[in-house]
């Protein structure tokens, strides 16, 4: 029977050291609860001695009732020339009242001499004294050996001596840290194996991704005796990030057959990933393994043809196992299978032998040559399919629009105005709306013109607006692609427009967004 691997999450401490990541106190509490519900074994809440927010977090966290996880406070060994009981930073760790304290200590002689400015013997004493002090207070102590792999390669005997000090003082885990992220996978495996052969204390692994092998290094350590893996959700962390738990967890459970969470929890992995991104106010990584939008997206015609016959041909796992879904993309590399599967996913079943399939495929390739892109514009693609099938009936037609802008130099303010004339159900409609910009004003005028005839569009709102210049060498005459994401509160959809004029490209995408909503509403 395999030794159980425990998961140690440091998103709320190490993850917050990433550029652009900043959690509020409430964010941290919500993330902690979500991690516990997922089934994380340890949650590192922060460093009580580093800032007021982390101190407030530990006070507030006392009211949380974790079902699965143990909460850990993070800090360093005592300072030189003082006792652990008298060290202010160690006292703050005690006052955090967590069942677990994770201590970081030096294992690399270079750091001992150049950073701590301590003797090798004093550093060993600092480790042992602090672990022993906290253990006497009833805390579980996890020892993080900072820069362990660099220290081991420089002087293995001293690096091992620091681990011995922590183990003999009562640490529950000796965590080998690749703090600089510069150690390669073969070295991590060999060194972990050597450490595991010496110590009966459980071994953990903490890797960074500076060489692009953070996840691989963690898995190599597990294969060679480590039984705890430390990392962050979505790989947040200083510089290029930490070991990504959203990759490690499914690799351990689905590939290495180490049951680290329940199967039902694993099916919430993508949801957890998105939740943490939302709390951090970051855009999800579309190419993230397992949980990204592109993880199970198929574009090449040969690929899609094979997947249509057997999904195992180009998918290493079922996307549902990690809460993801299969996506078929259409574009200039598409074949008939792309069109058939994509249309079916969107609710339009096509006859494989019908001439419309060939027409749709040619139309997609022609439009992509002009600059359109349907990978993130499913709604525009579905409308294209309905037009080819003769099932599309426009809900309104444009007669004219006009955009103007007024600027007040005295007050340094500006306002855009859109005048719109439509034909709706045989009636002439004329509206005027103001907005922060031309697209905002045009969107307001369009909604005002349609809401009396189609009240449901009150639910529709734009959630994202992207502009890309397609041929920048032509300067201000460049062609522009506009992608719009919309929602009605239940579903989300994307539409696209392309033109030499950014307003016209935006209008195309706006019209598709409304037409798609009305089409789905009628269906």
Pairing of strands 480-487, 461-469: antiparallel
**Res 170 pLDDT > 60:** yes
Separation CA 353–CA 256 (nearest Å): 44
pLDDT digit string, tens, across residues 354-364? 777 777 777 77
- The model's pTM: 0.73
Separation CA 64–CA 45 (nearest Å): 12
Token readout for 273 is 């990933």
pLDDT of residue 1: 41
Of 414 and 173, the one with more pLDDT: 173
Same CATH topology for 6-280 and 402-453: the answer is no
Q: What would the mean pLDDT of 241-263 be, rounded to a whole number?
A: 94
pLDDT of residue 333: 46
Which pLDDT band holds residue 510 (cuts at 50, 70, 90)?
very high
Q: How many CB atoms lie within 10 A of CB 433?
A: 19
**Res 338 pLDDT > 60:** yes
Q: What would the mean pLDDT of 151-164 be, rounded to a whole number?
A: 97
Lowest mean pLDDT among 160-174, 177-191, 281-295: 281-295
Q: What would the mean pLDDT of 502-515 be, rounded to a whole number?
A: 94
Q: What would the mean pLDDT of 4-30 be, rounded to a whole number?
A: 94
Please say whether the beta carbons of 380 and 512 come within 8 A.
yes
**Res 14 pLDDT > 90:** yes
Give me the CATH code for the 6-280 domain, please.
3.20.20.70
**Res 348 pLDDT > 80:** no
CA atoms lying within 13 Å on the CB side of residue 340: 16
Token readout for 343 is 């249309």
Q: What would the mean pLDDT of 138-160 be, rounded to a whole number?
A: 97
pLDDT of residue 43: 98
Residue 249 vs residues 7, 37, 203: alpha-carbon distances, Å = 8, 15, 18
Question: What mean pLDDT value characterizes the chain?
Answer: 88
Buried/exposed code over 384-393 (b: 16+ C-beta within 10 A; e: otherwise):
bbbebeeeee
Q: What would the mean pLDDT of 214-230 be, rounded to a whole number?
A: 98
pLDDT of residue 337: 58
Give me the residue spans of the domains in the chain.
6-280, 297-366, 371-395+458-523, 402-453
Question: In angstroms, how far is the first alpha carbon of the chain from the final one?
Answer: 54
Lowest mean pLDDT among 94-108, 139-153, 286-300, 498-512: 286-300
**Res 511 pLDDT > 70:** yes
What 3-state class would DSSP assign to 345?
helix
**Res 488 pLDDT > 50:** yes
Residue 520 vs residues 191, 304, 373, 492, 509: alpha-carbon distances, Å = 58, 26, 21, 12, 17
Please say whether the beta carbons of 296 and 69 come within 8 A.
no
Which pLDDT band holds residue 521 (cuts at 50, 70, 90)?
confident
**Res 495 pLDDT > 80:** yes
**Which ranges of 181-238 does DSSP label H, i.e. alpha helix?**
185-198, 214-223
Strands (DSSP E) contained in 10-125 are 42-46, 70-76, 100-106
**Res 391 pLDDT > 80:** no
Q: What would the mean pLDDT of 233-250 be, rounded to a whole number?
A: 97
| Rounded percentage of the chain residues whose pLDDT exceeds 70 | 88
Buried/exposed code over 289-321 (b: 16+ C-beta within 10 A; e: otherwise):
bbbbbebbbbbbbebbbbbbeeeeeeeeeebee
Pairing of strands 427-435, 413-424: antiparallel
**Res 334 pLDDT > 60:** no
**Res 472 pLDDT > 90:** no
**Res 387 pLDDT > 90:** no
Residue 426: left (phi > 0), alpha (psi -120 to 50), or beta?
left
Burial of residue 517 (number of CB atoms within 10 Å: 0-12, 13-18, 19+): buried
Contacts of 290 (CB under 8 A, 6+ apart): 246, 247, 250, 269, 270, 317, 322, 324
Unique residue bearing structure tokens 């947040």: 236
What 3-state class would DSSP assign to 250?
helix
pLDDT digit string, tens, across residues 171-196? 999 999 999 999 999 999 999 999 99
The class of domain 402-453 in CATH terms is: alpha beta
**Res 436 pLDDT > 90:** no
Separation CA 110–CA 150 (nearest Å): 9
Which pLDDT band holds residue 382 (cuts at 50, 70, 90)?
confident
pLDDT of residue 174: 98
* Fold of the domain spanning 371-395+458-523: Double Stranded RNA Binding Domain (3.30.160)
Of 160, 32, 134, nearest in space to 77 by CA: 134
């Amino acid at each position: 029977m395999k030794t159980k691997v425990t998961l140690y999450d440091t998103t709320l401490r190490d993850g917050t050291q990433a550029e652009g990541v900043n959690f509020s106190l409430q964010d941290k509490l919500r993330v902690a609860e979500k991690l516990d519900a997922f089934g994380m074994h340890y949650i590192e809440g922060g460093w009580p001695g580093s800032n007021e927010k982390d101190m407030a977090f530990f006070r507030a966290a006392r009211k949380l009732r974790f079902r699965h996880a143990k909460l850990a406070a993070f800090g360093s060994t005592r300072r030189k020339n003082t006792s652990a009981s008298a060290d202010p930073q160690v006292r703050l760790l005690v006052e955090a009242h967590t069942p677990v304290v994770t201590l970081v200590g030096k294992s690399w002689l270079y750091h001992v001499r150049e950073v701590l400015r301590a003797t090798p013997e004093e550093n060993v004493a600092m480790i042992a004294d602090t672990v022993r002090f906290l253990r006497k207070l009833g805390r579980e102590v996890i020892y993080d050996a900072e820069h362990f792999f660099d220290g081991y390669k420089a002087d293995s005997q001293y690096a091992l001596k620091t681990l011995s000090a922590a183990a003999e003082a009562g640490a529950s885990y000796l965590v080998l840290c690749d703090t600089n992220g510069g150690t390669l996978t073969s070295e991590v495996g060999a060194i972990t194996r050597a450490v595991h052969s010496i110590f009966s204390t459980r071994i953990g692994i903490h890797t960074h991704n500076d060489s692009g092998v953070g996840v691989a290094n963690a898995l190599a350590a597990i294969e060679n005796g480590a039984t705890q893996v430390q990392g962050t959700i979505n790989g947040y962390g200083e510089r290029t990030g930490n070991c990504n738990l959203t990759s490690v967890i499914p690799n351990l459970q689905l590939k290495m057959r180490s049951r680290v969470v329940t199967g039902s929890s694993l099916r919430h992995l993508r949801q957890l990933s998105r939740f943490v991104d939302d709390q951090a106010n970051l855009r999800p990584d579309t190419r993230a393994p397992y949980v990204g939008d592109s993880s199970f997206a198929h574009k090449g015609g040969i690929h899609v043809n094979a997947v249509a016959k057997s999904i195992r041909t180009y998918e290493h796992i079922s996307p549902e196992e990690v809460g993801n879904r299969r996506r078929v993309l259409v574009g200039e590399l598409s074949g008939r299978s792309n069109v058939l599967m994509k249309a079916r996913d969107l609710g339009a079943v096509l006859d494989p032998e019908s001439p419309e399939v060939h027409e749709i495929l040619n139309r997609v390739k022609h439009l992509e040559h002009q600059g359109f892109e349907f990978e993130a514009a499913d709604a525009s693609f579905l409308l294209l399919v309905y037009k080819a099938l003769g099932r599309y009936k426009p809900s309104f037609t444009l007669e004219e629009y006009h955009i103007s802008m007024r600027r007040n130099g005295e007050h340094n303010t500006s306002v855009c105005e859109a005048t719109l004339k439509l034909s709706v159900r045989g009636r002439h409609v004329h509206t005027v709306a103001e907005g922060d910009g031309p697209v905002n004003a045009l969107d307001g005028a369009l909604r005002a013109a349609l809401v009396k005839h189609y009240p449901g569009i009150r639910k529709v709102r734009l959630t994202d607006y992207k502009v890309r210049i397609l041929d920048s060498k032509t300067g201000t005459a460049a062609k522009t692609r506009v992608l719009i994401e919309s929602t009605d509160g239940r579903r989300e959809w994307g539409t696209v427009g392309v033109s030499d004029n950014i307003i016209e490209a935006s209008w195309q995408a706006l019209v598709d967004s409304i037409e798609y909503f009305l089409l789905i509403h009628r269906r």
